[in-house]
């Protein structure tokens, strides 16, 4: 079973012959990387926050035995996440959780939506937790951020999700092995506290593994410009 898009976009690979694509692909990637860097910089300039950056797992203050499972920190594109939050149709009173929240950008974005009542960030690197908390305080002072917010320093696959959490955002935080463990956690939580759960999977490197696992239903795949920027939505 493989992931396919239902956005109505043309299939990748149908727009040009392979030799042309080989020539253009590096250029498109170069433009995509710089577009996303510019977007991230502009977000911080206009909001006076510190959410930009990209740090590999080896450069984070996390346990050595977890670096092979963790991908690192990568800032999410504001416009892309907003489109998903605005088009899927989530219920009022939702609790938004960012798994591997980094510097908290997704939390700040999600908290602006009326249907979100609380945002929670889970982050393994303590240094990033502190930055995320600082950004939340900046947002409270400057942007009217008035939602309950919590940043948890810990391992996402070892946390008990029993507070009604129903929207989980993952910007490709870990490998396929940890992804399966995380799905176990979501399934266990839904069994103890029955509810519909959504997983918004950014840069969905292991989307086919999730589909083959069979426990999550594919809702929609959003395709965006720039490498690693697609967001696939699953439902439990």
Q: Kindly give the residue spans of alpha helices, DSSP state H, lying in the chain.
A: 18-47, 78-87, 105-110, 126-142, 176-192, 207-213
CA 2 to chain centre: 21
Q: So what's the pLDDT on residue 10?
A: 39
Mean pLDDT, rounded, for 48-56: 92
User: Does residue 193 or residue 25 have the better pLDDT?
Assistant: 193
pLDDT in tens, 13-50: 455 677 766 767 787 777 877 888 899 999 999 999 99
Partner residues linked to 56 by β-bridges: 72
Task: Yes or no: say if 145 and 139 are a contact pair by the CB < 8 Å rule.
Answer: yes
pLDDT at 220 over 60: yes
All structural domains of the chain with their residue ranges: 18-235
pLDDT in tens, 89-139: 999 999 999 999 999 999 999 999 999 999 999 999 999 999 999 999 999
Q: So what's the pLDDT on residue 25?
A: 74
The sign one gets for the Cα dihedral 150, 114, 198, 51 is: negative
The model carries a pTM of 0.88
**What does the alpha-carbon distance between residue 121 and residue 131 come to, in Å, rounded to a whole number?**
12
Give the confidence band of 172 by pLDDT, cuts at 50, 70, 90.
very high
List all residues 6 or more positions away from 142 whose beta carbon is below 8 Å from its beta carbon. 47, 48
18-235 CATH = 3.40.50.150
pLDDT at 9 over 90: no
Q: So what's the pLDDT on residue 4?
A: 40
């Amino acid at each position: 079973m493989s992931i396919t898009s239902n956005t109505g976009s043309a299939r990748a690979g149908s727009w040009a012959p392979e030799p042309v694509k080989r020539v253009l692909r590096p250029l498109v990637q170069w433009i995509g990387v710089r577009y996303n860097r510019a977007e991230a910089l502009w977000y911080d300039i206009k909001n006076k926050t510190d959410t930009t950056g990209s740090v590999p797992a080896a450069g984070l203050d996390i346990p050595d035995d977890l670096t092979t499972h963790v991908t690192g920190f990568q800032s999410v594109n504001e416009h892309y996440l907003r489109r998903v939050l605005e088009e899927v149709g989530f219920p009022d009173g939702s609790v938004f959780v960012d798994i591997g929240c980094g510097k908290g950008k997704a939390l700040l974005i999600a908290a602006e939506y009326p249907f979100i009542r609380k945002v929670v960030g889970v982050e393994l690197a303590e240094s990033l937790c502190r930055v995320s908390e600082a950004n939340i305080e900046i947002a409270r002072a400057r942007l009217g951020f008035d939602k309950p917010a919590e940043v948890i320093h810990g391992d996402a696959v070892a946390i008990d999700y029993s507070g009604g959490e129903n929207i989980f955002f993952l910007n490709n935080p870990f490998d396929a092995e940890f992804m399966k463990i995380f799905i176990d956690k979501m399934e266990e939580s839904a069994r103890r506290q029955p509810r519909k759960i959504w997983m918004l999977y950014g840069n969905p490197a292991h989307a086919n593994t999730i589909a083959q696992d069979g426990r999550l239903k594919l809702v929609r795949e959003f395709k965006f410009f720039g490498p690693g920027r697609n967001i696939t939505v699953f439902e439990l």
